[in-house]
A and B are shown apart, each in its own frame.
Chain A
Amino acid sequence: GAGVSQTPSNKVTEKGKYVELRCDPISGHTALYWYRQSLGQGPEFLIYFQGTGAADDSGLPNDRFFAVRPEGSVSTLKIQRTERGDSAVYLCASSLSASETQYFGPGTRLLVL
């Protein structure tokens, strides 16, 4: 079956612009996670959704970052007033339930010029 998909695969934007990153989880997976990975580092947790609600957003770095999952399936990570330090690979993962294996998408590579 289809895995986790993320669009776009690459995004180049200018400092100060707004970007949206999309994640399509595996069908039927209720748990969805966003992570951010900088070069040479492991992924860093951003936010966790159980269904439509954000159960834990403690990893969001500041209020420029926001994520939604309005129908409990597709999720969008939104970044306002982008900064060069936001450049990273943004990874999405989903799992059947919160206690099970997470399956990762290929990521969106964001470059802020």
Chain B
Amino acid sequence: KQEVTQIPAALSVPEGENLVLNCSFTDSAIYNLQWFRQDPGKGLTSLLLIQSSQREQTSGRLNASLDKSSGRSTLYIAASQPGDSATYLCAASSGGYNKLIFGAGTRLAVHP
């Protein structure tokens, strides 16, 4: 059974810092891995999707890496801004139809 863990549970940083959010999964036979952002009281916004055959994906200040053999993914945020404050969720797909297994998230606060 796939289990996804995210560390740290919460993070508070000053504006401008580069930071790394960690995600680990127990079953390396994933189909893909997605990172989402969730603002309080809102739905999820997809940030990056990494297919199992890929090692990383980049979008703007975000870079996500995937290491299936070690069961890990990281989300790197460069030059953090207060607008980046949100909960970041990682989800590993289970099965060929993209059934997502989520971690509990990392709550990020970027203060001016």
**Chain A, Cβ-Cβ closest to B47:** A101
A99 and B99 contacting across the interface, CB-CB below 8 Å: no
In-complex Cβ contact of B46 among A31, A99, A102 (8 A): A102
- Shortest 5 CB-CB contacts between residues of A and residues of B: A42-B102, A98-B97, A104-B44, A104-B43, A106-B43
Chain B 38-57 against A: per-residue CB contact (8 Å), 1 yes, 0 no? Answer: 00001111100100000000
Q: How large is the interface on A (under 10, 10 to 19, 20 to 34, 35 or more residues)?
A: 20 to 34
Chain B interface (Cβ within 8 Å of chain A)?
Answer: 4, 31-32, 34, 36, 42-46, 49, 89, 91, 95-105
Q: Which of chain A's residues have a CB closer than 8 A to the CB of B103?
A: 42
B91 and A42 contacting across the interface, CB-CB below 8 Å: yes
A56 and B95 contacting across the interface, CB-CB below 8 Å: yes
Chain A interface (Cβ within 8 Å of chain B)?
Answer: 4, 31, 33, 35, 40-45, 48, 50, 55-56, 91, 93, 95, 98-107
| Cα distance, A107 to B45, chains bound together (Å) | 12
B96 and A99 contacting across the interface, CB-CB below 8 Å: yes
B98 and A45 contacting across the interface, CB-CB below 8 Å: no
| Cα distance, A95 to B32, chains bound together (Å) | 14
B3 CB, nearest partner CB in chain A, Å? 11
B29 CB, nearest partner CB in chain A, Å? 15
With A42-B105, A43-B102, A102-B34 as given contacts, are A56 and B97 in contact (CB-CB < 8 Å)?
yes
Could you list some 23 contacts between A and B, CB below 8 A? A4-B43, A31-B98, A33-B98, A33-B99, A35-B102, A42-B4, A42-B89, A42-B104, A42-B105, A43-B91, A45-B99, A45-B100, A48-B99, A56-B99, A93-B44, A98-B98, A100-B49, A100-B98, A104-B44, A104-B46, A106-B43, A107-B42, A107-B43
